[in-house]
Structure 1
């Protein structure tokens, strides 16, 4: 804006003149003010309308989410009550237990008789025996990313980031006994998004035994759970059976978890230095220090009692073969010092290894041979080492095999395909040599502290050295790297749901 000041020419009042553009581009006129007010009003109305729409949109979404959350919690409580009713039905025999699930409008309720599976097998050296293999079934509720299910006697909840147990399945392990009531849905007839009917046991329970080959005396029982809710099952199994899970959901199949219980042979109660069908002792060998149980033995070479009560010690051939077969499935590793508890699979074992059992029992499975001559296979720690050999075992030189401070902590189990021999030198075997289907030959100048069980034992012209019984092997047990199985209490209950 530009103005000009004109001085008065005839005594008039000074006048200010403005450019013509002032009314349109400078100070607003009344017309300009009216247009501005109208525009502001329109903008205000628009903001109010948009804001109201946003309130309706986001407010509606929040209400929807809130109502879905309420229904999900209601569904969870309903399936908990439903699962409790199925457990009651399994215990009630012919009784029919009423069940009701209703008020589910936003999610989907479904019954599936073929959902999931439980498989129980027994494995030993002679093969695999299927003890039980049936689907579990499930009653499920799904709402968005959330799914809740009654399966196997438990209630599971998945929110897209994994599965947890709302109510754990009735799985219990104590002192070598496993109790697992398997609850499975076989007949399901429902209508719509609700359940209003009864659950009942459809037939007599199926009791799962330990197999036709139980008389063989040893083996493993493996249980597999296939389920959409695998992670939840895995957590519950791990919390119940420490160290029992052999295949997690993150390995192999993502919907399967495997756990295993070991049924080792009972080799305890060894109360003699040697137990064998036949014992041949060289006339120049030092006397056996301890009792001998054998049908044929020179009693003059025994510094203890001699009996021929009969050679009756359980075979470990099938057990060793089964362990080797299991290792062939998982693979063998290079032998090294063992510093942690667990099972180790090697093709052969030679000099210079330490087995530290401070962390727990150790099991070493050797497929081919053991040959120790210049150094020790030394056992330290307060727990057990069991070495399973499916081939020849040779100890010579100044080697040490076992735990010299406590021979009762080391067991050497030899299959029918193996044999034990000492050669030249002054080797030491400190432990229980258990080869009931094989032979033990002691040559050179060996020292055996512990005990020997074998089909035939030959003691050569050893001096110094000899065989001396250590009473601590009487309590020897085969090391179990997972839960032991003394009793299998699995019962399968078929439950039907009918409206």
Structure 2
């Protein structure tokens, strides 16, 4: 083999190496340029979006001054990307405030249904908006709050100075903010009977908006209550419960119109049908959840050797399932709670001491013995979930108060000497069967302070709502 052939192959290898090195260098440089360009573009996008947020925050401050009487007009410069659009979207978003029946969930009346409008900065799939007195940002499929809206919830008072935005469809550079009308008081309303304090119901606040999910998270943070976010119609909703003032002045009362029947009649006196009483479902479920999740909150009688003599003041006793039998409850050292996540069939029950005992029953509640025979009725309160029914059978004696506004109640039996039922009872429907089956109203139940709202349900007693219209126009 000639020696020159080896030299030729080595020369070809050197050329290939150089070519490969150049190719790798070019590819690397191209990648660096491409990735660097994307990074620079991302930084620029973030910077311009941040500038737009800052100018929108300034707009928020200026609009607040105008809407709430601090100034007649204000000017602000809207900045951001040169390729972005800035405009007033007068029909963007709305807020509805309505009151619902706490017992049935039925709609009662509407306080306001206000179109919020918005001043919107849009750059590609990113938008920043002033709406409802807050600043919101949407990018892709999610939104976030930049600054909070005009929604002030403290204690049991909600103040909502709503701002509705109109003006030039397209904005550029410096804009002028003007108030186009004086604030209109929506609640309380001097021309109607809608006044503070609220006496009953559930106040439901619903927002429809491009930024609905951020509104929902704001409601969760601010009210610490139940909030529902609906992606299908892009709404967020929160509920505020009016603390219910209990007035129990009947031995039997039904929440259904014509819900009381007696065989033989007439119904026991005093009675009333068609009363409005909120459900106890939330507070019952809240107590069950607390007992199941917090081992220190309740004495779990399911897992211990049960002794009725151990039920004393200051404790909550939990039955994780059905319970039937006798009880002995001593309230000398404080109130006693009994939580039953199932059916509760009460036999003979003695209640002593100067405090009260409250029973929370998830399913059916029945009585077949003598319950709290020495009274008074106000020291025994029984709350029954709407999923359960109530029945009293045989030659029973019950002294107490039963609150079951969503339940069917059967009072059967009687026949013994004296009164069978002493106190008060609220049910959805009430059937009284048997003779004599005697009833006696105990006025002490009229003084019961019964809170049937869940412990985490946000309360509302005072509501202040006004609407102010402002215009945002080019200077």
User: What is the TM-score of this pair, normalised by structure 1?
Assistant: 0.60
Given candidates 297, 317, 324, the residue that maps to 2:275 is 317
Q: Which residue of 1 aligns with 2:81?
A: 104
> What is the rounded CA distance, in whole Å, between the counterparts of 2:183 and 2:350 in structure 1?
50
Q: Which residue of 1 aligns with 2:204?
A: 222
> What is the rounded CA distance, in whole Å, between the counterparts of 1:71 and 1:98 in structure 2?
21
Cα distance, 1:106 vs. partner? 4.7
Unaligned stretches of 5+ residues in structure 1:
2-20, 277-296, 298-310, 328-334, 342-350, 365-370, 388-392, 415-419
Cα distance, 1:452 vs. partner? 7.4
Alignment of 1:337-416 (within 5 A): 339-340=288-289, 397-398=368-369, 407=379, 410=382
> What is the rounded CA distance, in whole Å, between the counterparts of 2:132 and 2:143 in structure 1?
15
Cα distance, 1:450 vs. partner? 5.5
Count of equivalent residues: 389
User: What is the TM-score of this pair, normalised by structure 2?
Assistant: 0.62
Cα distance, 1:150 vs. partner? 1.6
2:380 aligned with 1:431: no
Higher relative contact order (CA 8 A, sep 6+): 2
2:138 aligned with 1:153: no
Unaligned stretches of 5+ residues in structure 2:
254-268, 291-320, 325-334, 406-410
Alignment of 1:238-249 (within 5 A): 238-245=220-227, 247-249=228-230
Given candidates 57, 61, 67, the residue that maps to 1:84 is 61
- CA RMSD across the alignment: 5.5
> What is the rounded CA distance, in whole Å, between the counterparts of 2:225 and 2:398 in structure 1?
33
Which structure has the bigger radius of gyration? 1
The Cα offsets for residues 85-142 of structure 1, whole Å up to 9 and x where unpaired, read as 1112111266111121124225443331111111112223674422211221122233
On the 8 A contact 1:171/1:179 being kept in 2, the answer is yes
> What is the rounded CA distance, in whole Å, between the counterparts of 1:372 and 1:40 in structure 2?
88
Alignment of 1:145-294 (within 5 A): 145-160=125-140, 162-191=142-171, 194-209=172-187, 214=194, 218-245=200-227, 247-249=228-230, 253=232, 255-263=234-242, 265-267=244-246
The Cα offsets for residues 475-499 of structure 1, whole Å up to 9 and x where unpaired, read as 5134123323311112222221011
> What is the rounded CA distance, in whole Å, between the counterparts of 1:83 and 1:353 in structure 2?
59
Call closer, same or farther: CA 1:375–1:180 in 2, change over 3 Å: farther
> What is the rounded CA distance, in whole Å, between the counterparts of 2:148 and 2:245 in structure 1?
33
On the 8 A contact 2:323/2:344 being kept in 1, the answer is no
> What is the rounded CA distance, in whole Å, between the counterparts of 1:399 and 1:479 in structure 2?
26
Alignment of 1:16-27 (within 5 A): 21-23=2-4, 25-27=5-7
Moved more, 254-263 or 73-82: 254-263
2:411 aligned with 1:476: no
The Cα offsets for residues 301-343 of structure 1, whole Å up to 9 and x where unpaired, read as xxxxxxxxxx9x99972456xx69xx9xxxxxxx9997237xx
2:467 aligned with 1:492: yes
